[in-house]
Amino acid sequence: MRDFPDHLDLIIVGGGPVGGALALLLAHRGWQVGVLEARQQPAQDSRALAVAHASRQTLAGLGVWPQAAATPIHTVHVSQQQAFGRVKLSDADLGLPALGYVLPYADLATAIHARLAEQAGGVHYLTGAQVSGLKSLDGYAVVTVNQGGQERLLTTRLAVLAEGGKLLAGSGIGQSEHDYQQQAVVAEVWTDTPHHGQAFERFALDGPIAMLPKQDHYALVWTRPANDPLAVLGLPDAAFLAALQDRMGDRAGLLTRVGTRAAFPLRLKWADAHHGRRIAVVGNAAQTLHPVAGQGFNLGLRDAIALARVIAATPQPALGDADMLARYAALRQRDSLATVGFTDGLIRLFGLESVPVRHLRAAGLLALDNLQPLRRGFAQRMVFGTA
């Protein structure tokens, strides 16, 4: 902690994939950047990230893309249970090598941790750093950090909050939350049929199912009610696979094996603003989404890219001032609102189970599948976001 400066141009609270990427985007640009990460080592999270092609380009440019661990998604098959209609999105619609990639979270976190640990390009990286306080003043922000029992006050022109969960009390930024009363059950599943880079989004009667190609099998995200009548988390493997097969049909082939299962609650969280006095928020600190469309990480990375661009165009004396932060917030408003609204709307729309609504959804899927400009526009939004 002794080598960490008392004052920096910018301090990022959270060294995960989004906060770390922001630091690397600002490296070698003359800014003195600090990253405070609560963990000593990268999180060994078992979940998989759905990384859009545009996000992959950014990460590769930063030298943190773990190519060997990534599985390309060439097509996405979307359907609903007990209703006609489906849509198939393809990388050919956009002329891309892939729509996206499935990447283990731990591999990306480890790659970013290794780059930050090099302490190159003006980036100072402190792990095991618990941030317990934040105070914003007119000219700078004060960050209270504790490492190994030692407390220290750091000052900065701009504090960036990049950690999910509850926003620091001193940020002055409110946070809203909606509990979906659902849990995401995650596991790896194997079938008797090669996936050929195809992902599945299946809106079953009792919750959406995503099966994402991962190496020679699939990463499964199965949305279940919080009080799951099937209790799929604890089902014997054969019963679990039978219940999943019943909802998926034979699209992915015969399910043959399931790995270790885990579950986490699903809540929508969003900051009331993308900035406060001397403070900006990015990633899960700005918005935490339902995983239904795999947009959470990509939206957060677009926050980091936008903030880095605004900072690059800001003279040092103006870093963190109200005008600069207003420009950042204006850049992110449309994309954030559109993506949050889209993912939340999907959950609400496919949660309505009346027969007329089911037929309307089916008609919408058919129209999307048969009208190439509409399908291309939808795929482009998934890959690049809303400008």
Mean pLDDT, the chain cut into blocks of 10 residues (387 residues total): 87 96 93 94 85 97 96 95 87 96 96 90 92 94 93 97 87 94 97 98 93 97 95 96 97 97 95 96 96 93 98 96 98 94 86 71 75 84 82
> What pairs with residue 258 in β-bridges?
189
- Residue 196 region, left (φ>0) first, then alpha (ψ -120 to 50), else beta? left
DSSP 168: P
**Of 148, 113, 116, residue with least CA distance to 129:** 148
**Of 186, 178, 184, residue with least CA distance to 267:** 178
Between CA 130 and CA 28 the distance in angstroms is 26
Q: Which pLDDT belongs to residue 331?
A: 96
One-character DSSP codes across 221-265:
EEEEESS-SS-GGGS-HHHHHHHHHHHHTTTT--EEEE---EEEE
Q: Which pLDDT belongs to residue 354?
A: 66
Between CA 243 and CA 248 the distance in angstroms is 9
Between CA 129 and CA 36 the distance in angstroms is 6
Q: Which pLDDT belongs to residue 25?
A: 96
pTM of the model: 0.95
